[in-house]
Amino acid sequence: MRLTVSDERWPIAGAFTIARGSKTEARVVVVEIEDGGLVGRGEATPYARYGETVEGVLAEIELVRAAVEGGLDGARLQGLLHAGAARNALDCALWDLEAKRVGRPGWALAGRAEPGPVETCYTISMGEPQAMAQAAAKAAHRPWLKLKIGGPDDLARVEAVRGAAPNSKLVVDANEGLSFDDLRRLAPELVRLDVRLIEQPLKAGEDEALEGYVSPVLLCADESLHTRAELAACARRYGAVNIKLDKTGGLTEALAVDDEARALGLKVMAGCMVATSLAMAPAMLIAQGAAVVDLDGPLLLARDRDPGLRFEGSIIHPPVAALWG
């Protein structure tokens, strides 16, 4: 087998802003594993929040190059690299390669039902309330909007978006930007504004305060949930978990997290980083039956891969084999 790794830059349409900062491009790492003329591909996004850089992820992949080119499979990969972007890119490429080898789609290899179309959230970046209202007005036809919050004007932000998009279902994502007092003060107001879910209100590692708190709005763990190791704690603090392949370190662990989360009675949100359709495609398996789907990464880019996922408004169709799986 032959491993090829590349660093790609994809411009964002405008800017993408959350509580921790803003960016104008998505830098992704793409892995291709070739065997006998067949090529499996995977894409991952290094995330500074977890101490990842593009250079660091590239170096991490190089550490296992010999093992990959010697015939490493997905099961053995799990023990060689920690959960993160490097393992995600390799894991998804191995799934894609195996699908091509045996002539069966990725969903069948995973023992899942054939995926169907899903309806994704569309993200409104954090900004001044008026700017967020303008962005929401342009997206008011979309059934789900996700707002980035995490500052002193949060209530004004949500009110502005609700006014501009009265018929959309709303999700708010604080990206760890609230205190517990902020949350308790804000949550009843979000009920009034018909917000369906609050994503990661408190800092990961400081969310023990949520144990025993009965939130009037469904709380969802994001930064607090990476792999199955965190699920028990999340089940005591949240009603839902956001499963992202860059956090789980690939589709293999994501599928296991999905199964265990549902067994614990947690609702599932299928999430993503800002990336191309190649990164979203394997996550479509997690999106099936999820309470909330947030796989809008390609919609936020100035352009996407060709072929990419087919979007009809906010509806995402399953990937064709030429893209992944």
Tell me which of 100, 169, 203, 244 is the catalytic residue. Answer: 244
Q: What is the pLDDT of residue 17?
A: 79
324 inside domain: no
Residue 20 has pLDDT above 80, yes or no: no
Cα radius of gyration rounded to whole Å, the chain: 19
Residue 69's pLDDT band (boundaries 50, 70, 90)?
very high
Same domain for 42 and 138, yes or no, is: no
Query: Which of 109, 136, 153 is the C-terminal boundary of a domain?
Result: 109
pLDDT tens digits, residue range 227-274?
Answer: 999 999 999 999 999 999 999 999 999 999 999 999 999 999 999 999
pLDDT digits (tens, 9 = 90+) for 269-295: 999 999 999 999 999 999 999 999 999
CB 138 within 8 A of CB 13: no
Residue-level pLDDT at 285: 98
Average per-residue pLDDT in the chain?
96
Return the pLDDT at 316: 98
Same domain, 144 and 291: yes
Q: What pLDDT is recorded for position 21?
A: 76
Tokens 């929401």 identify what position?
136
Domain residues for the domain of 273 are 118-316
What was the pLDDT predicted at 94? 98
Distances (CA, A) of 99 to 20, 39, 67: 38, 10, 20
* Same-domain status, 210 and 273: yes
State pTM to two decimals. 0.96
**Cα(192)–Cα(318) distance, integer angstroms:** 35
Q: Is the pLDDT of residue 84 over 90?
A: yes
Claim to verify: residue 16 and residue 89 sit in the same structural domain: yes
CATH number for position 95: 3.30.390.10
Quick check: 125 pLDDT over 90? yes
Q: What is the average per-residue pLDDT within 139-154?
A: 94
Per-residue confidence at 151, pLDDT binned at 50, 70, 90?
confident
Contact 85, 46 (CB under 8 A): yes
Strand blocks (E) in 177-300: 195-199, 218-221, 240-243, 267-270, 292-293
CA nearest neighbour of 200 among 148, 124, 126 = 148
| Residue 322 covered by a domain | no
Mean pLDDT confidence for 91-105: 98
Report the pLDDT value the prediction gives residue 18, as an integer from 0 to 100: 81
- CB count within 10 Å of CB 320 equals 13
- The catalytic position among 23, 148, 247, 267 is 148
pLDDT tens-digit series, residues 24-50: 999 999 999 999 999 999 999 999 999
Q: What is the mean pLDDT of residues 299-318?
A: 98
Which one, of 59, 38, 7, 50, lies nearest residue 275 by Cα? 7
In a domain, 206, yes or no: yes
Give the whole-angstrom CA distance, residue 6 versus residue 235.
Answer: 38
Q: State yes or no: is 244 an active-site residue.
A: yes
For residues 209 and 73, state if they share a domain.
no
Is 148 a known active-site residue? yes
Where a domain ends, among 74, 109, 144? 109
Residue 220, in any domain of the structure: yes
User: Long-range contacts of range 228-235, CB-CB < 8 Å, 24 or more positions apart?
Assistant: 228/253, 228/256, 228/257, 228/260, 231/257, 231/260, 231/261, 231/264, 231/266, 232/264, 234/266, 235/264, 235/265, 235/266
Distance CA 196, CA 162 (A): 12
Q: Is residue 323, in this structure, part of any structural domain at all?
A: no
Residues 45 and 181 occupy one common structural domain = no
Residue 123 lies in a domain: yes
In a domain, 58, yes or no: yes
Domain stop point among 109, 140, 161: 109
Three-class SS of residue 10?
strand
